[in-house]
Structure 1
Amino acid sequence: MTELSRRQHLKQLGALAGAAVTSGLSAPAFAAEAEIPPQGIGKGIKHISYSDIGGRPDSVQVMVNKKHVYVGHMFSDGVTILDASDPRNLKPTGFFTAGQYTRTHHLQVSDDLMLLANGANIVAMQSYDSMRGYFENNLADSITNRKKFRSGLSIHDISKPNEMREMAFLEMPGFGINRLWWPGGRYAYVSAHFDGFTDHILCIVDLQNIAKPEIVSKWWLPGMNRAAGEPDLPKGKRVALHHMITAGNRGYAAWRDGGFTIHDISDPVKPTLISRINWSPPFPGGTHTPLPLPKRGLAVVADEANAEKCAKGLFHTFIVDVRAPENPVPISTLPTPRERDFCTIGTFGPHNLHENRPGSFQSEETVFATYNTAGVRVFDIRDAFMPKEVAYWVPPTPRKLVDPRPNVSLAAKTCDACVTAEGLMYVSDWNAGMHVLEYEG
């Protein structure tokens, strides 16, 4: 895409519902050529501190429990524990690893227990020439240099915050777990790859006996069960469950290029499909995070930007009316950050949303989102048809690149944000450690 056509494309997409709405902020806060200082630049968000996470700055999902922060890593094959009793001075106090080549980048915490994803460190076992290879190929076809790794769900006692005592392990033969949702309770909703399938599918795990977790059901989109002879899915598109988030007896699931689904999970042994919608094409896909807002009959659904420098166009976060779950309707998109030409820097666009977990900041009117090079964004969606950006924070460029994949820009890659009930944000970056921020809204 030429520079002229890219700018025209940005202008056209700016006319989308929501994207065309004024941000609610003042004019651009800094010039495009200005260097971003170590504490970042923002409005409505205060920088509290920074940590390199004990020399392992590659950080993905973040969980908070008993004034400790648990950080899953993208490349470092483990989980770091940080003492956050003083958020201004995070202190690494422990590190857990399931072994080399076993990635444990996603985790869930409740009631002094942790559920931890175990799976193949894909980045160490593939040989694509860019990051797009991971996002545009079936997982089953991605492994070019297979190593020994552990695949399944591990359960840990974290009642002693500086320790992770493994209590149980549920093996899942395949390439393992990508992400999971468990707000506490009997059932966990897991995105896992099993031998014979093309990619991650839904797997519901019964935790009634925490020492002996049990898989009670699986669900997938047509074409994913290769072993059963289902027809192959289109090339160049990745159909895979990123993860499901539940609200009551409904499950909301994001399937990357396979779209967004709503399920009846009133019987976890027999989850059933209520509806499926896919806006790719014309949009580029990568559906990543499905955040339900059940009191309002809405879902906020983020498509993960997965190409360098807007090579696939702009990715968006959609607000979807799900009052009639059999007929979900997108009604707007969150405004696209515009105070810099972020497309020229690296990967730009949505990654994840703060997921309103029990015990954390919970709101159906304020949405916290991460946007890769554009950092953290806070949106007021009281008017779901005209969402507005009300605060932002843009991180500095990292000192070095941790990501070992070729043709990846040296740029910030803000990944996840865990927001506490008090408004503290623990913000991770694939390459650049963790920033602690405070929302001033």
Structure 2
Amino acid sequence: MTDDLPVPTHQRNMRLIGHSDQGGRPDGVQLMVHRGYAYVGHIFSKGFSIVDVRDPRRPRPAGFVPAPPNTWTLHLQTHEDLLLVIHNKDMFAQAEMADEKAYYKGTVSSHAAAKPAGRDWSAGMAVYDISVPDRPRRIGFMPVEGAGLHRIWYTGGRWAYASALLDGFTDYMLITIDMADPEKPLLAGTFWLPGMNAAAGEVPDWPLPSGRFGLHHPIVDGDIAYCSWRDACLAIVDVSDRHAPKLIARKVWSPPFGGGTHNALPLVNRNLLVVVDETVLDHGEDGFKPVWIFDNQVKGNPISISTCPAPKDRDYHAVGGHFGPHNIHENRPGTFVSEELIFVTYQNAGVRAYDISDPFRPEEVGACVPPAPATMIDPRPNRARVLHSADVSVDRNGIVYATDFNAGLSIMEYTG
């Protein structure tokens, strides 16, 4: 353990064991911990970083891959010797997005629109060879016409899945990607909710501009994609034909609840579904955003049976910034996999562990709240200098890694 390890503001059954500023780029969103290295996508630092975490108590910056101009590479996936990285228009670099409410309300297509000749960002998916973990070597790219991709799901094999904002559509939708040749990935299939294909004359039937009807990302089990569709909530999609996905069912709880659905994780052996609604506004302005537990015995009709309790160790609304869920550990192959213990980032309330062995009565069993960032790398005006725990990944040894918008990579141990 390093002598200058930050002191958490709250710990229970979890302890901070390591920390990294990621080579002076302390902002992070999605991370993958793979073969002793953490791959961290940045939201403000224009690229992605590699951190050597073979000794999690002494993480070391190991590399940085810059993004193309005006391009986000904030989400990524690893499997064996491959790293898949999204390319998308850097939305937060735009003046009109300085107020983050603009990103989470209504359609985003107007902010991403540009004629191909005037497009000044890279849109698509890059594929890297990471057989040498700290030296990613780009071997392939799948371009798309539009803003680009947001987040990918890939656990090996022929097929990857992603959310993409393509020309002519109002927001992000589901795409399937043929990875038969990783050097030449191909867009194979598309699926969107009715009303999203503006170029074809479809008219939205949802209450614009109050909500985002756009896919955050899918998690795929077999031939079923559980799609977190933000304010459109949950869409369950049959992807048995990867070239022509079809809707199985939709579950909608916004309104009356706040929406912003971010993750939908199937717990296959228990017929459960863990669904996270992301808090996206300060001081709880966007309403009730819980971690839901659904009974998923009938795949076309999951039923909500409980929510995980929100942290109560202090008044986090008074802390400022975002208080509420953002992300969960997604039980990826090769990582810590549990259907009873789940880990959630709660933004200004750090990382929380929940025991859901009784799905009707989830219980918080661990917490670690690192301190607020010493400095802010977020360039947007009037952002509170508070913690914003973003993504969480738990390795096969049970070590918990969490990114933050400003406060670097926190490495924790669950002791419960």
TM-score range, shorter chain: over 0.9
User: How much has 1:266 moved relative to structure 2?
Assistant: 1.8
Pairing 1:225–2:191 present: no
Cross-structure match for 1:51:
20
CA deviations 1:211-233 (Å, max 9, x no partner) are: 11111100001111111111134
Conserved? CA contact 1:129–1:405, under 8 Å: yes
The separation in 2 between residues aligned to 1:83 and 1:336, in whole angstroms, is 33
Cross-structure match for 1:257:
231
**What letter is aligned with 1:295?**
N
- The within-5 A match list for 1:375-414 is 375-414=350-389
Unaligned runs of 5+ in 2: 1-5
Cross-structure match for 1:366:
341
**What letter is aligned with 1:192?**
A
Cross-structure match for 1:245:
219
**SS in structure 2 of the partner of residue 319 of structure 1:** strand
Cross-structure match for 2:40:
71
User: How much has 1:130 moved relative to structure 2?
Assistant: 2.2
**What letter is aligned with 1:226?**
A
CA deviations 1:395-420 (Å, max 9, x no partner) are: 21111222222332111000011101
- The within-5 A match list for 1:179-194 is 179-194=151-166
| Match among 115, 125, 141 for residue 153 of structure 1 | 125
Cross-structure match for 2:147:
175
Pairing 1:277–2:251 present: yes
Cross-structure match for 1:41:
10
TM-score, normalised via structure 1 length: 0.89
The separation in 1 between residues aligned to 2:366 and 2:42, in whole angstroms, is 27
The separation in 1 between residues aligned to 2:415 and 2:11, in whole angstroms, is 11
The separation in 1 between residues aligned to 2:66 and 2:380, in whole angstroms, is 22
| Match among 96, 118, 124 for residue 127 of structure 1 | 96
User: How much has 1:143 moved relative to structure 2?
Assistant: 4.7
User: How much has 1:249 moved relative to structure 2?
Assistant: 1.7
- In structure 2, the CA distance between the partners of 1:118 and 1:144, relative to structure 1 (3 Å rule), is closer
The separation in 2 between residues aligned to 1:280 and 1:335, in whole angstroms, is 19
CA deviations 1:331-362 (Å, max 9, x no partner) are: 11111111111011220000000000000000
**SS in structure 2 of the partner of residue 133 of structure 1:** helix
User: How much has 1:126 moved relative to structure 2?
Assistant: 4.1
Q: Count residues with an aligned counterpart.
A: 406
**What letter is aligned with 2:49?**
T
User: How much has 1:242 moved relative to structure 2?
Assistant: 0.2
**SS in structure 1 of the partner of residue 254 of structure 2:** coil
The separation in 2 between residues aligned to 1:323 and 1:104, in whole angstroms, is 36
Cross-structure match for 2:186:
214
The separation in 1 between residues aligned to 2:14 and 2:7, in whole angstroms, is 15
CA deviations 1:257-279 (Å, max 9, x no partner) are: 01101122222122111110111
CA deviations 1:412-435 (Å, max 9, x no partner) are: 000011101111111100111111
Cross-structure match for 1:5:
none
**SS in structure 1 of the partner of residue 384 of structure 2:** coil
The separation in 2 between residues aligned to 1:173 and 1:98, in whole angstroms, is 18
**SS in structure 1 of the partner of residue 103 of structure 2:** helix
The separation in 1 between residues aligned to 2:168 and 2:113, in whole angstroms, is 17
User: How much has 1:39 moved relative to structure 2?
Assistant: 3.6
- The within-5 A match list for 1:108-123 is 108-123=77-92
CA deviations 1:270-311 (Å, max 9, x no partner) are: 211111011100111100011111111111000000111112
The separation in 2 between residues aligned to 1:143 and 1:155, in whole angstroms, is 23
Unaligned runs of 5+ in 1: 1-36
Conserved? CA contact 2:113–2:146, under 8 Å: no
The separation in 2 between residues aligned to 1:414 and 1:360, in whole angstroms, is 20
| Match among 292, 303, 314 for residue 340 of structure 1 | 314
CA-atom RMSD, angstroms?
Answer: 1.6
Which protein has greater RCO, CA pairs closer than 8 Å, 6+ apart?
A: 1
CA deviations 1:180-237 (Å, max 9, x no partner) are: 1001111000111101111111000010111111111000011111111111342121
Cross-structure match for 1:164:
136
Cross-structure match for 1:11:
none
User: How much has 1:129 moved relative to structure 2?
Assistant: 5.3
The separation in 1 between residues aligned to 2:377 and 2:102, in whole angstroms, is 18
Cross-structure match for 2:3:
none
Pairing 1:266–2:235 present: no
Conserved? CA contact 2:113–2:167, under 8 Å: no
* Identity value in percent: 43
